[in-house]
Amino acid sequence: MILLSATEGSGWEESLSRAQEAEIPVLLIDRGIEPDDTDLYVTRLAPDNIAVSTSVAEWALETFPEGAKYFVLEGPAGVSVVNERNEGWNAVMEGESSFENLGAQTANWSTEEAKSVFETVLKSNSNDVQLVFAQNDEMGLGAAQAVEEAGLVPGEDVKIATIDGTKAALEALAAGTLSFVAEYNPLFGDQAMEAVNTALDGGEVESYIQVESTTFDSPEAAEEALPDRKY
């Protein structure tokens, strides 16, 4: 049995074909492959990135009924979760003429890189940015640092939405620094082991097993969740 969490989405066809020829079942953990050939693996276990990023976009529409100028901080290029998070966000936002897309740039999941990138964005737009969609919590926290150093108030002058749902992000949401956090639940070890055992026993496994996640849209929601947060 091979458990694969692919740091790059593409280029797996030959390796997975060889595993298949050797009758070694493959389970994808979290990250998918591109193209998504379900014949090459038993199942993928992961939250639904498209649904998660769609929830962020829908929150943005509700929060800014008259529109806003926004910037997207992306993860590394070529990673399946980045492509999926873009897909969900763009499907909602591209038809919204009241929202102005100021661009997108990778910050490689890094707080420091996100701070640097967003400092440049703020300067080039004379601080006229109302919304940041950060594809993970760390980049959102970096954007918040850039907002503060620009003399603005994160959560008020610039609203920041993130994905992951770490304890640090929920603490920032509780403090009002972040405005929306979509969980990307990593706690699916038991589900993975169940799929492994079923596959090894020759049982049928669905080609995609969705890991349930939730969202946090207020300081109160974050405060309620924090005492039991496991990551």
Q: What is the pTM of this model?
A: 0.91
Name the maximum alpha-carbon separation found in the chain.
61
Preceding amide of 65 cis, omega within 30: no
Give the pLDDT score at 123: 98
> Rounded mean pLDDT of 40-49?
95
Give the pLDDT score at 6: 87
Give the pLDDT score at 171: 98
Beta carbons within 8 Å of 45's beta carbon, 6+ residues apart: 27, 28, 29, 30, 188, 191, 192, 195, 209, 211
d(CA 169, CA 140): 8
One domain, residues 28 and 106:
no
One domain, residues 136 and 208:
no
Is the alpha carbon torsion for 159, 170, 148, 108 positive or negative?
Answer: negative
52-64 pLDDT, tens digit per residue, is 999 999 999 999 9
One domain, residues 74 and 152:
yes
One domain, residues 202 and 151:
no
Q: Give residue 165's domain range.
A: 49-184+219-228
One domain, residues 133 and 190:
no
One domain, residues 173 and 85:
yes
Q: Nearest to residue 98, comparing CAs of 58, 133, 69?
A: 69
- Bridge partners of 43, per DSSP, are 27
One domain, residues 174 and 193:
no
One domain, residues 23 and 53:
no
One domain, residues 54 and 102:
yes
The one-letter amino acid at 95 = G
88-98 pLDDT, tens digit per residue, is 999 999 989 99
Q: What is the CATH number of the domain that holds 129?
A: 3.40.50.2300
Our count of domains for the chain comes to 2
What single DSSP character describes residue 30?
S
One domain, residues 152 and 193:
no
One domain, residues 107 and 151:
yes
118-175 pLDDT, tens digit per residue, is 999 999 999 999 999 999 999 999 999 999 999 999 999 999 999 999 999 999 999 9
One domain, residues 151 and 61:
yes
d(CA 54, CA 84): 10
